Amino acid sequence: MTSSVRYELVDGIGVITVDNPPVNALSHAVRQGIHDALAAAQQDTSIAVLIVCEGRTFIAGADITEFGKPPKEPHLPDLCNSIEASSKLVVAAVHGTALGGGLEVALACHYRCAVQGARVGFPEVKLGLLPGAGGTQRLPRLIGAGAALDLMTSGNPVDAAQAANLGLIDHIVNGDLGDAALAWCGELAAKDVQRRRTSELAVESVPDGMLDAYRATLARRARGQIAPQKIVDCVEASLTLPFTEGLRIERENFIECLQSPQSAALRHMFFAEREAARVQGLSKDMPLRDVNRVGVIGAGTMGSGIAMNFANAGMQVALLEVSDEALGKGLGIIDRNYQGGVKRGKMSEEQALEYRGRITGTTDYESLSDADLVIEAVFENLELKQEVFGKLDAVCRQGAILATNTSYQNVDRIAAATKRPQDVIGLHFFSPAHIMKLLEVVRAEKTADDVLATCMALAKKIRKTPVVSGVCYGFIGNRMLGHYAREAQLCVIEGATPEQVDAVMEEWGMAMGPLAVFDLAGLDVGFKARQGLPEAERGDPRAFRVADALVEMNRLGQKTGAGFYRYDPDTRKRSSDPVVLTLIEREAAELGVTRGDIDADEIVDRLLFALVNEGMNILDEGIAQRPGDIDVVYVYGYGFPAWRGGPMHYADSVGLAHVLERVREFEQRFGSENWTPAPLLEKLVSNGNTLAEWANSGSE
């Protein structure tokens, strides 16, 4: 045994107990301990073997910290084969979660029981991997190829009741798992049930064309990703090959996925998301402020969505508008959102009513006097926001947190409109606010540490992924987006069509092309933001000529049925519009631009390296804490493909020297106004460092 695993005889049953907190991950010590205990059980007087876990969960998966390190025996596939080959009956007792390698251990056992509420699944695909210890071969034999594909390609777990219906779990336990599992294991042993080895089960055949149809669906749903398609290949092997051959195919595909840039990127994102929640220089023991009552000012699409987040998390919300008419519209948005959630099966009718009941409307600032947190979500105008914060300063209780949802404005200047700048912070939600995961938490110059800590903890409570940003125009995400948007629209002026730019970026992996995104957000949003800036700060005037002309034609995007594209009024499906091409050609001629062909590689590099170069400046200025934080912002807020790892990880993966070479090339071709290499980029290339190395060395 090892320190992580103990073995003892209890009422004639050999009990293997895994105790490797916090989640009993399958570290080398755990694998070795199970292996040794199983070997001991084969030699003693036990009548059966029971595998259980201490703490809050069964084995919740592999030890991800061991990825990339030389593997140590016993390897998990060999351990699973040993469990299945045991001459004595082996039963798994599941509580909490049995995920990934943990579920593979359970599948290798002859029978499985679980407590109510336990969850099982294969999340490997979310790390660019596939089950690599027999999961792709045992699962189809147990529950059928279709159900196995659904479970493995989604990566989403199912609860014990669903697992029992599928055939994954043989027995649901009530009461104490240890006692009940021991009793059930004893009953099975007394009946001398057969050692049901999953590898020996026949695989049910599937209809002709089923696998091809599944591949086609995944090609759309998981565009560009290799792991989901590899899972289908492995399941096909389970249908057509002997078990041992299937294991060989699985192992080959697992190694290929493990060594792929996609898995490296997804594993980077796994750690980056967790690291982003840690604020440098902030004590883990920082006392938090209580937040139970929340006020939201502005009942538009954003404010209504923000209110839903807090109501869904159990807090009372007061939604304030300037008039009864505006308030009624906002509450109507909330009602429709909840009805849509019920219709899509995201919540029950009872849940929707409960959540909606926590939101009340008001037109009186005095209604916010007892709020613990107030979030302003009014029009993007600095003077208006300062006026709102002046009113809040007068009515809100001392100690209340005052937050602005601004996308661009200076939070320090907003805080200065109050006598309590230490209580002011930026909470930048992304639209639709009740769905999007990202929350930029903007730390102003005088924001108190406990306010920042409270908001970071609160983000998790409302199921958001928080990233800390310093104060600058646009913070992390929108500041970088300005450069991405500039290059997208310059490519259009210089010769590409909106369709070409969007198709290239979507093929590369972006959830939506940039011009389609601008139409979705509303072209007037960017127009008004630019108009609010001094002319010298609006950037290259050529870049937004077409967008501004579209706004002047009242082509604001999807909300008016036309923008860069024309939209079907019923389906919102976009289609090309010759009017836009005529407009582009006219604006280019007026600017003296001779339009020409632009290839896909140039479009990708101009858009992405514009992001990267500005990301370098943001890091250098200390606006973002670390490169991974920028990646989290872009994956969760801007549709950047997680399997590319975010813009900063992508820069490392293609090589910073290559990025710098292209930036310098673009500087020569297009001028230094848009393409001055970031000093940090030049320094890292000069020193031969990657961004990851720079971040790990303390960012010096």
Active site residues: 104, 124
Distance CA 546, CA 529 (A): 16
Nearest to 338 by CA among 463, 432, 403: 432
Distance CA 412, CA 417 (A): 9
Contact 28, 72 (CB under 8 A): yes
Distance CA 634, CA 630 (A): 6
Q: How far apart are the first and last CA of the chain?
A: 45
Distance CA 220, CA 218 (A): 5
Distance CA 210, CA 232 (A): 11
Residue 655: C-alpha distances to residues 258, 660, 684, 691, 692 (Å): 20, 9, 11, 10, 12
| Polymer length of the chain | 700
Per-residue tokens: 545: 């000529």
Residue 382: C-alpha distances to residues 237, 331, 414, 418, 558 (Å): 61, 26, 7, 14, 27
Neighbours of 654 (CB within 10 A): 15
Strand 97-99: give its sheet, edge to edge: 97-99, 119-121, 158-159
Contact 654, 671 (CB under 8 A): no
Nearest to 643 by CA among 270, 252, 341, 382: 270
Helices (H), 259-300: 261-276
Residue labelled with tokens 């639709």: 432
Contact 497, 516 (CB under 8 A): no
Fill in the amino acid letter for 215.
Answer: R
Helices (H), 509-577: 514-521, 523-531, 545-552
Distance CA 454, CA 241 (A): 55
Nearest to 47 by CA among 173, 187, 197, 199: 187
Q: How far is CA 99 from the centre of its chain?
A: 18
CB under 8 Å to 149, separation ≥6 — which residues? 214, 231, 232, 235
Distance CA 24, CA 60 (A): 6
Distance CA 33, CA 3 (A): 8
